[in-house]
């Protein structure tokens, strides 16, 4: 399906992209802690809501 060159490119792209995203996140960590404090509760509520909808779907 994919040639060997495409697979190598995809792996290298993923590694480099992950490093750049990690570096950028570390660089802005102080701002994240300041402006997005408490946002984990929003994420947990969203995941819980999706889980609740899935449970209703399988239960009914």
What DSSP designation does 36 have? S
Tell me how far apart the alpha carbons of residues 42 and 7 are, in angstroms, rounded to a whole number.
37
Q: Is the overall model pTM greater than 0.85, yes or no?
A: no
Q: What is the pLDDT of residue 45?
A: 97
The predicted pLDDT at position 1 comes to: 87
Q: What is the mean pLDDT of each run of 10 residues along the chain (60 residues)?
A: 94 98 91 86 96 93
Given this model, what pLDDT does residue 31 score?
A: 87
pLDDT at 47: 97
Structural domain spans, the chain: 4-59
Determine the pLDDT at residue 9: 97
């Amino acid at each position: 399906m994919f040639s060997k060159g495409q697979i190598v490119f995809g792996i290298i792209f993923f590694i480099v992209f992950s490093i750049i995203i990690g570096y950028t996140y570390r660089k802005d960590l102080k701002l994240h802690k300041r402006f997005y404090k408490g946002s984990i509760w929003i994420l947990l509520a969203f995941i819980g809501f999706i889980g609740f909808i899935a449970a209703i779907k399988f239960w009914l």
